[in-house]
Amino acid sequence: MGIISRGFKRPDRPSGDVKLPPGQYRTTDFPVLSAGPTPRIAREDWRFEITTEAGKSRSWNWQEFRKLPTDDITVDLHCVTKWSQFGMAWRGVSLDTLLADVETAADFAFVRSYGGYTTNLPLDDLRDGKAWIAFSYDGDDLHPSHGGPARLLVPHLYLWKSAKWVCGIDLRDDDEPGFWEQLGYHNYGDPWREQRYWGD
């Protein structure tokens, strides 16, 4: 997976020493890819909620969310449309922090966004320093087009798993395909194994 470091440091990679997953090309801009219009969510109205398989839920408003400890994360991101970008600097709250007091034995996470987008992944892929709710990119507030006020960031999977405008995660015993997964994208989406579509 990508290099993770703390402190908004851009990795200084000599060209040619770049780790590109199979079939990917490098880009230096940050394309916007959304399946619908950009929802505008005021921070006063923003909520993020985790619901367990037992139906218990824990939620944070913006103020509560921003009191949680944050990580500075520098990662490489890989989009299924074949662009990869290196050394992207984010700030966010680790899912480990958000899940710390959540009692669950669920195996799967179903991620929901404002606007109706969904995606699914194994709960283990959100744990152990692998996923964040990111609210800042490149030192600025996360722009709405890129998922602001906050988006899921799961750098080790193709970027469609990193739900923009995230509003909740349902923890479930059973897996359910999300928006792109229902339309033929791979259920897991590991860029290093080139899991783009069903059957890859």
Ligand X SMILES: Nc1nc2c(c(=O)[nH]1)N[C@H]1C(S)=C(S)[C@@H](COP(=O)(O)O)O[C@H]1N2
Q: Footprint of ligand X on this chain (CB under 6 A)? A: 30-35, 79, 113, 115, 117, 146-147, 159-160, 162-165
Residue 162 binds what, of ligand X, Mo ion, none (CB under 5 to 8 Å, by partner type)?
ligand X
Q: Which of residues 99-158 bind Mo ion (CB under 5 A)?
A: none
Name the DSSP class of 97: H
The C-alpha atoms of residue 186 and residue 81 are separated, in whole angstroms, by 13
128 backbone dihedrals φ, ψ, rounded to 5°: 60, 45
Nearer to ligand X, 20 or 54 (CB): 20
Residue nearest to ligand X (CB): 117
Q: Report, in Å, the least distance between residue 162 CB and Mo ion.
A: 9
Task: Determine if 33 is a binding residue for Mo ion (CB under 5 A).
Answer: yes
Q: Report, in Å, the least distance between residue 12 CB and Mo ion.
A: 28
- Token readout for 30 is 């940050």
Q: Report, in Å, the least distance between residue 100 CB and ligand X.
A: 25
List own/partner pairs for 142-146 with CB under 8 A and 24 or more apart: 144/38, 144/39, 144/40, 145/32, 145/34, 145/38, 146/30, 146/32
Question: For tokens 């950009």, what's the residue?
Answer: 38
Please, are residues 165 and 147 in contact by the beta-carbon 8 Å criterion?
A: yes
Q: Report, in Å, the least distance between residue 54 CB and ligand X.
A: 27
Nearer to Mo ion, 51 or 84 (CB): 84
- Beta strands (DSSP E) in 63-165 are 71-78, 83-94, 108-113, 118-122, 132-137, 140-141, 151-153
Task: Determine if 79 is a binding residue for Mo ion (CB under 5 A).
Answer: yes
From candidates 160, 165, 179, 185, binder to Mo ion by CB under 5 A:
160
Name the DSSP class of 134: E
Nearer to ligand X, 99 or 153 (CB): 153
The C-alpha atoms of residue 79 and residue 68 are separated, in whole angstroms, by 29
Residue 92 binds what, of ligand X, Mo ion, none (CB under 5 to 8 Å, by partner type)?
none
Question: For tokens 């579509």, what's the residue?
Answer: 197
- Of 25-33, 54-62, 146-154, 185-193, the segment contacting Mo ion by CB under 5 A is 25-33
Give the footprint of Mo ion on this chain (CB under 5 A). Answer: 33, 79-80, 160
